[in-house]
Structure 1
Amino acid sequence: LTRQSVWLPLPSFTRGMLTSSPSVAMATISIDKPRSLVDERISIRVENLPSNAPVTLRLNIKESYGSFSAFGHYMSDSSGCLSLDSSSSLGGTYTGVDSMGLFWSLLQDPAEKSGLRLLRREAEIPLRYQLTALPGHVTWEQLTNPETEIKPFCSANLERTYLADSVERIPVRVGRLRGALFKPRSQRSCPPVIDLFGTGGGLMEHRSALLAKEGFSVLALAYFNYEDLPDTIVEYDMDYFEEAVDFMLACPYSRLGPKGGVGLIGVSAGADIVANAAILFGDKIRAVAWLNGTPCRNFYQARYRGRLLPAQVTFNASKIKQAAPNPLGIDLRECVQPTRDQELPVEQASARFLFFSCLDDYSVSPEAGARLADRLVRAGRTDVERIAYPDAGHLLEPPISPCTALCYHGLLKVYMYYGGKPECHHRAQVDSWARMIRMFHEELGWRDDKRQVAKL
């Protein structure tokens, strides 16, 4: 264990200051992995505390756009120790025993502007946190009030990164394509996957980097607002996405399985794109992970080989409502209401589908995944699965990422209420991540492939 210690003087009784009695000299925080991966569990211990005493642990991260914190209330044991592997949080941003509870329960500090999302687009830049042990059970208001002075027992710094040392990043600028490819350094070629996000724009690398360490060559693909790509979306250019598929099929870093084809991941608008791709590109697509998309073509038109694709459904702006849990955000669930004939004809695709629907999502209808899965089942398909997560929100990320219920949307210039209750959302992320990895190994790999599914 790596120990980081801070010698602190005895606290004085100053007006407006929380005090402890007595103070402990040389309290230490021990972290087994001070630098770890974002989806990796770590062990944290605090020692040399007062015995059987209330203690608060606060995790904080300061980014250029805002600050985020989480905290838990604990009791030290008779020897003056607490371990997040076994000590229960009695209150705070999470409760119960969970060694990673402080990470998945992070919230933006109340002094920050509303709608922030803790996100690192660039996989090579780590997230840097500070962990502090404080006397007593300190409230959220006290922790985040700059006028409240608290004498800590000790503090430690740690880093979490999306890019494993075993994974390399290769910039992609081929023809019109812009993005970054991630692959294990130890392998020349791996099963190919393309990773797409929604209307946030730019290049999102974090999920691709984490997936690559599981034995895949993953292309994080940008399609607007990046380098020389268009600044905004006018329509979905499906030819561009087919170029990306062809690139990965021919790429020397791709090892195609006996069934051929690539895997696709898409969330939100990215889910709409990957569903369209599976319908249009035939056997080039082997497996699709669809996360919280819509059941039809809407909002943006899709064009393929010079023609607009049919069954465009009008987005009904009159159905926009304030989100009941937080009126600052908007509820879009009733804005797109397609008929069955307007749904995406996913039964025309040959790919295996894995649909993820989060039932506390206020930006798309939670029934969208069920509707598309039903089309496949009615067509006699058995290679389809739909997973529904109660109390999980729209932004389904890799494991241990915090839940962002309210987020400002830069392209639409509105506050989106994406929903999600932190613990349920966390569990959904752990489960969906393992299911995606398993499906991609089964569909894209070889039978003698011994790589393991991600475990947490």
Structure 2
Amino acid sequence: MVKRPSIGLLGFSKGGDLCLSMASFLKGITATVVINACVANTIAPLHYRDMIIPKLVSDTGKIKITKSGFFNMMDSWSNPLEERNHQSLIPLEKVQGPFLIIVGMDDQGWKSEFYAQIASERLQAHGKERPQIICYPGTGHSINPPYFPPSRISVHAVLGEAVVYGGEPKAHSKAQVDAWKQIQTFFHKHLNGKKSVKHSKM
């Protein structure tokens, strides 16, 4: 059950582009937060009613392997702005509510900072409000809730291989604490009409 009338979305990585798609096509979405998300549909084609959004073109031949044998996928993703990828771009101009985009500037999964810039320019080009973008230096792909161990390397759900996600432990841990506060504040403001939120004493 979803508590109405205000509905917020929170998505990370592939879940982020799913949230962008939901906010673009579904009614009643009040606020959306994405963490290191792409502005194009990724991994697999997205089916919605009689429409299909193809996946962003990727080239596994461009995956780099580190000295330790881990995969680095950064260069395997093609540019969403290339003509061949236009159909995979999520139509953000259809979104009604505000956005918070969280970016790890040492994201080795894909170019999250670049994608955030594309999202901002696309929204403003269509007369939408500029999204709130928070960038965290030294922070990798997996920005989890506070006090989770920084995930610099993990097994990719699709590839089944250990993938490098980046992030310097101290900076990443601090970013997780701050990002969690920023997410709560954003949702309280846009879902409950409150300007602040009581933070955990942990």
Normalised TM-score (structure 2): 0.87
Runs of 4+ in 1 over 3 A off after TM superposition: none
1:171-250 to 2 correspondence within 5 Å? 247-248=1-2
Name the one with the larger strand percent. Answer: 1
Letter in 1 for 2:18: I
Partner of 1:23: none
Q: Secondary structure at the match of 1:287?
A: strand
Look up the equivalent residue of 2:144 and give its one-letter code. E
1:372-451 superposed matches below 5 A: 372-382=119-129, 384-446=131-193
* 1:266-315 residue CA offsets vs partner (Å, 9 max, x unmatched): 00111011000000003x11111101121211221100114312x54222
> Match of 1:286, SS?
strand
104, 118, 122: which one aligns with 1:358: 104
* Percent identity (aligned): 25
Cα distance in structure 2, aligned partners of 1:306 and 1:369: 28
Partner in structure 2 of residue 319 of structure 1: 62
Distance in 1, matches of 2:172 and 2:193, equals: 32
How far the C-alpha of 1:344 sits from its partner, in A, is 2.0
Deviations 1:391-428 (A, max 9, x none): 10111111122112111235421111011111110111
Query: Given the superposition, is the C-alpha separation of residues 274 and 410 from structure 1 closer, same or farther in structure 2, using an over 3 Å criterion?
Result: closer
- Report how many aligned residue pairs link the two structures: 195
**CA separation in 2, counterparts of 1:272 and 1:345?**
11
Distance 1:410 1:271, change over 3 A: closer
Structure 2 residue 81 is the aligned partner of structure 1 residue 334: no
Q: List runs of 5+ in structure 2 lacking aligned partners.
A: none
Give the counterpart letter for 2:102 in structure 1: F
Q: Is the 8 A contact 1:438 1:453 kept in 2?
A: no
Task: Spell out, residue by residue over 1:165-188, the C-alpha distance to the aligned partner (whole angstroms, 9 max, x if none).
Answer: xxxxxxxxxxxxxxxxxxxxxxxx
Aligned partners of 2:24 and 2:94 also within 8 Å: yes
384-393 or 369-378, which deviates more = 369-378
Cα gap change, 1:455/1:370 in structure 2, threshold over 3 Å: closer, same or farther?
A: farther
Question: Which residue does the alignment assign to 1:57?
Answer: none
Corresponding residue number in structure 2 for 1:132: none
- Offset at residue 316 of structure 1 (A): 1.5
Aligned residues of 1:266 and 1:291 also touching (Cα < 8 A): yes
Letter in 2 for 1:339: L
> Matched residues in 2 for 1:453 and 1:306: separation?
44
Question: 2:69 is paired with a residue of what secondary structure?
Answer: strand
Q: Tell me how far apart the structure 2 counterparts of residues 451 and 399 of structure 1 sit (CA, whole Å).
A: 18
2:101 alignment partner, SS class: strand
Structure-1 separation of matches of 2:197 and 2:100: 19
More helix by share: 2
**Alignment partner of 1:290 out of 30, 34, 37:** 34
- Quick one: structure 1 residues 425 and 305, their matched pair in 2 at CA, closer, same or farther if it must change by over 3 Å? same
Secondary structure, counterpart of 1:356 in structure 2: strand
1:23-50 residue CA offsets vs partner (Å, 9 max, x unmatched)? xxxxxxxxxxxxxxxxxxxxxxxxxxxx
Counterparts of 1:335 and 1:351, CA distance in 2 = 32
Which one has a bigger Cα radius of gyration?
Answer: 1
Of structures 1 and 2, the one scoring higher in RCO (CA 8 A, sep 6+) is 2
Note the aligned Cα RMSD (angstroms): 2.1
2:117 corresponds to which residue?
A: 370
CA contact (8 A) 1:437 1:453 kept: no
Contact 2:45-2:55 at 8 Å conserved across structures: yes
Where in structure 1 are there 5+ consecutive unaligned residues? 1-246, 249-253
| CA shift in 2, pair 1:335/1:425, >3 Å | same
Tell me the alpha carbon deviations over residues 118-176 of structure 1, each in whole angstroms, 9 at most, x when there is no partner.
Answer: xxxxxxxxxxxxxxxxxxxxxxxxxxxxxxxxxxxxxxxxxxxxxxxxxxxxxxxxxxx
Q: 1:347 to 1:454 in 2, by over 3 A?
A: farther
Letter of the 1:297 counterpart:
N
Counterpart Cα distance in 1 of 2:100 and 2:157: 29
